[in-house]
């Protein structure tokens, strides 16, 4: 019953409530390559609102997700051929406010959708309809599944070879993706160990089923693992890098598997890499018939829709906790508006977050959604 707007030819348009969509918007743009997000990125106040083509949706972003790799992207580490200026931000949840004629076959104005696409740190983003994910409502919890949840689900399924009774170590376990690795390993009836940086995070981990939490600020992780798990751990879900990587590698059991999904400890360095003790790597792997596997979500998009469908069903059934951190406990309060993305990135690198960091984008547009 809601009208569909064919945007493929129009420069002036309305959303379905008759609220004017502005001709300009705020967005974040990388204007200089740097691993320092504040140096690299500029808030543009008057960028033109993009127009959807025939197969596209124009989405008014309501929530955007912060990822550790945002600063890898702003440093130009993913594609050396791309030169500034370019848009930043990987994922968003919002409402369809306009769409092209072909896109209207599957979507309507006012529909809630999520997406993974560069350029989400903006008030409006154009997304190809075939890449969007329809949602029952606009909720920040859905955003936690798009990159963080999917990374945990696909990597553990494809590379983890989880089975009942296996010991799984999750580093940065209370973070955006760690929370899902813990829960999915528990669903596979594994024994889960999680590292974290505070007792508050430890409490959260226990609440989602973690069997043993290790606060690395007050406990020696290496000693705990050696004492409590003398045979080693079967799978490590590793996102920290540096000393934590070395420690995890040394803690592997015979035929153990270490899955590298990131190395946040080094992203703020000029190289993006934390130093590791790699000289002994071949000997260590050989001695234990162990393996290290890297996982980058972009290489697994063939599995993506299936994974997301499964995760959405789990969440809707109440089988999955999707913890969102809006920065309410940060010094300047909740992350609201694109201006606060800078604070949110800082907050992540201070290791303060419990769950996925999400920024809310309020709109002055009169909306009943």
Q: State yes or no: pLDDT of 237 exceeds 60.
A: yes
Q: State yes or no: pLDDT of 74 exceeds 80.
A: yes
Greater pLDDT, 278 or 267: 267
End-to-end CA distance of the chain: 16
Q: State yes or no: pLDDT of 88 exceeds 70.
A: yes
Domains and CATH numbers, the chain: 12-138+323-360 (3.90.180.10), 146-299 (3.40.50.720)
Q: How far apart are the C-alpha atoms of 324 and 322, rounded to whole Å?
A: 6
pLDDT-derived band at 51, boundaries 50, 70, 90: confident
pLDDT for the residue 335 = 98
pLDDT for the residue 53 = 87
Q: How far apart are the C-alpha atoms of 12 and 350, rounded to whole Å?
A: 44
pLDDT for the residue 14 = 43
pLDDT for the residue 369 = 37
pLDDT for the residue 54 = 87
pLDDT for the residue 72 = 96
**Two structure tokens written together for 76:** 């130009």
**Phi/psi of residue 146, each to 5°?**
-60, -50
Q: Could you give the angle at the alpha carbon of 85 between the alpha carbons of 84 and 91, nearest 5°?
A: 105
pLDDT-derived band at 21, boundaries 50, 70, 90: confident
% residues pLDDT > 70 (the chain):
93
pLDDT for the residue 100 = 86
Report CA-CA distances (Å) from 112 to 14, 168, 245, 268, 291. 17, 36, 39, 35, 41
Other Cβ atoms within 10 Å of 36 Cβ, number: 14
Q: How far apart are the C-alpha atoms of 40 and 76, rounded to whole Å?
A: 10
Which candidate, 278, 298, 286, places its Cα nearest to that of 254? 286
Report CA-CA distances (Å) from 319 to 65, 180, 209, 312. 22, 11, 12, 10
Q: How far apart are the C-alpha atoms of 258 and 248, rounded to whole Å?
A: 8
What mean pLDDT is predicted for residues 184-194? 98
% residues pLDDT > 90 (the chain):
87
Greater pLDDT, 168 or 2: 168
Which candidate, 269, 218, 266, places its Cα nearest to that of 238? 266
pLDDT-derived band at 363, boundaries 50, 70, 90: confident
Assess whether the previous peptide bond of 338 is cis (omega < 30° from 0).
Answer: no
């Amino acid at each position: 019953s809601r009208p569909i707007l064919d945007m493929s030819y129009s420069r002036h348009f309305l959303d379905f409530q008759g609220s004017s969509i502005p001709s300009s918007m705020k967005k974040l743009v990388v204007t200089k390559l740097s691993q320092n997000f504040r140096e690299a990125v500029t808030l543009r106040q008057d960028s033109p609102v993009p127009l959807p083509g025939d197969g596209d949706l124009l989405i008014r972003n309501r929530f955007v997700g912060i990822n550790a790799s945002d600063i890898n992207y702003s440093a130009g580490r993913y594609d050396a051929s791309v030169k500034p200026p370019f848009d930043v931000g990987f994922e968003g949840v919002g409402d369809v406010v306009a769409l092209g004629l072909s896109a209207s076959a599957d979507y309507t104005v006012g529909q809630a959708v999520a997406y993974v696409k560069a350029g989400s740190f903006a008030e409006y983003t154009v997304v190809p309809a075939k890449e969007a994910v329809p949602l029952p409502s606009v909720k920040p919890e859905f955003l936690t599944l798009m990159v963080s949840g999917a990374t945990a689900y696909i990597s553990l399924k494809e590379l983890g070879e989880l089975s009942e009774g296996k010991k799984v170590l999750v580093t940065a376990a209370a973070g955006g993706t760690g929370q899902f690795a813990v829960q999915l390993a528990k669903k596979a009836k594994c024994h889960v160990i999680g590292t974290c940086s505070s007792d508050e995070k430890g409490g959260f981990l226990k609440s989602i089923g973690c069997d043993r939490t290790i606060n690395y600020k007050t406990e020696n992780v290496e000693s705990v693992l050696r004492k409590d798990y003398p045979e080693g751990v079967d799978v490590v879900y590793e996102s920290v890098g540096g000393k934590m990587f070395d420690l995890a590698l040394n803690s592997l059991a015979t035929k153990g598997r270490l899955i590298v999904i990131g190395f946040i400890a080094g992203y703020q360095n000029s190289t993006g890499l934390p130093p590791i003790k790699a000289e002994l790597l071949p000997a260590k792997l050989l001695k234990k018939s162990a393996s290290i596997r890297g996982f980058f979500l972009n290489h697994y998009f063939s599995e993506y829709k299936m994974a997301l469908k499964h995760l959405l069903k789990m969440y809707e059934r109440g089988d999955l906790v999707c913890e969102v951190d809006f920065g309410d406990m940060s010094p300047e309060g909740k992350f609201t508006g694109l201006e606060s993305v800078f604070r949110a990135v800082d907050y992540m690198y201070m290791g303060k977050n419990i769950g996925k960091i999400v920024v809310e984008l309020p709109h002055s547009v009169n909306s009943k959604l």
